[in-house]
């Protein structure tokens, strides 16, 4: 009788030990699975962003203001930015069509075909320039998607574009290089004086 009781106690201790080990095993398995799942999700959605940052400095010989002649238009097509230099300073244009967002292209003549076809073109509100039959050629941008056209200073004058292209912030960095931030839209009268 006493021997039976002793065996019963030992069996119940054995069961308790087994249960404990089983619980530890399951907890370990669950934690390991959770870690594996987390790592998988992290791998699918990495933290890195591959978007081009909005602020940048032109590189190479375009880094410094002295590289730009007065009256020049420089297209940085990979950045979708244009740098214009006039008598009164620099300004940067965001090269994004205000109709549906295509990338307009620069042409030394965006007006003469319209003028010669008899299309009335309004005067550039910023520069006061007017394309006429006597003087039909003005530089600017044409959008390849639906044909909008812009004067060199980004004012729209033809096609479905509802407004001028944006001008964006530009400054001279401490290292003497030009610095452009496409995330900051500035007034059309903005000029960087160097």
The answer to whether residue 159 forms part of the interface with ligand FES (CB under 6 A) is yes
Q: Where are the alpha helices (H) located in 45-155, listed in sequence order?
A: 112-116
Q: Radius of gyration of the chain from Cα atoms?
A: 34
The answer to whether residue 102 forms part of the interface with ligand FES (CB under 6 A) is yes
Which residues, other chains included, contact 178 with Cβ-Cβ below 8 Å and sequence gap of 6+? 57, 58, 62, 63, 64, 65, 83, 90, 170, 171, 172, 192
- Which range, of 10-18, 21-29, 67-75, 139-147, touches ligand FES by CB under 6 A? 139-147
- Which range, of 57-65, 68-76, 153-161, 178-186, touches ligand FES by CB under 6 A? 153-161
Among 83, 143, 165, 168, binds ligand FES (CB under 6 A): 143
The total of other beta-carbon atoms located within 10 Å of residue 180's CB is 22
The answer to whether residue 163 forms part of the interface with ligand FES (CB under 6 A) is no
Which residues, other chains included, contact 63 with Cβ-Cβ below 8 Å and sequence gap of 6+? 57, 177, 178
Question: Going residue by residue from 59 to 98, which x/- string records binding to ligand FES, judged by CB under 6 A?
Answer: --------------------------------------x-
The answer to whether residue 160 forms part of the interface with ligand FES (CB under 6 A) is yes
Please give the span between the terminal C-alpha atoms of the chain, in angstroms, as a whole number. Answer: 106
Instruction: Give the binding site for ligand FES (CB under 6 A).
Output: 97, 99-102, 143, 145-148, 159-161
């Amino acid at each position: 009788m006493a021997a039976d009781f002793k065996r019963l106690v030992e069996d119940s201790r054995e069961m308790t030990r087994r249960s404990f080990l089983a619980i530890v095993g399951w907890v370990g398995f669950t934690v390991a699975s959770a870690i594996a799942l987390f790592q998988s999700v992290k791998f699918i959605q990495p933290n890195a962003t591959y978007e081009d940052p909005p602020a940048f400095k032109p590189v190479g010989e375009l880094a410094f203001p002295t590289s730009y002649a007065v009256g020049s238009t420089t297209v940085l097509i990979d950045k979708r930015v244009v740098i214009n230099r006039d008598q009164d300073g620099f300004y940067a244009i965001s090269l994004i069509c205000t109709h549906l967002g295509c990338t307009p292209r620069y042409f030394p003549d965006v007006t003469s075909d319209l003028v010669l076809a008899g299309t009335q073109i309004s005067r550039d509100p910023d520069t006061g320039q007017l394309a006429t039959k006597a003087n039909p050629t003005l530089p600017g941008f044409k959008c390849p998607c639906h044909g909008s056209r812009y004067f060199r200073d980004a004012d729209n004058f033809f096609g479905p574009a509802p407004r001028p292209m944006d001008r964006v912030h530009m400054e001279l960095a401490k290292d003497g290089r030009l610095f452009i931030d496409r995330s900051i839209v500035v007034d059309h009268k903005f000029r960087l004086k160097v």
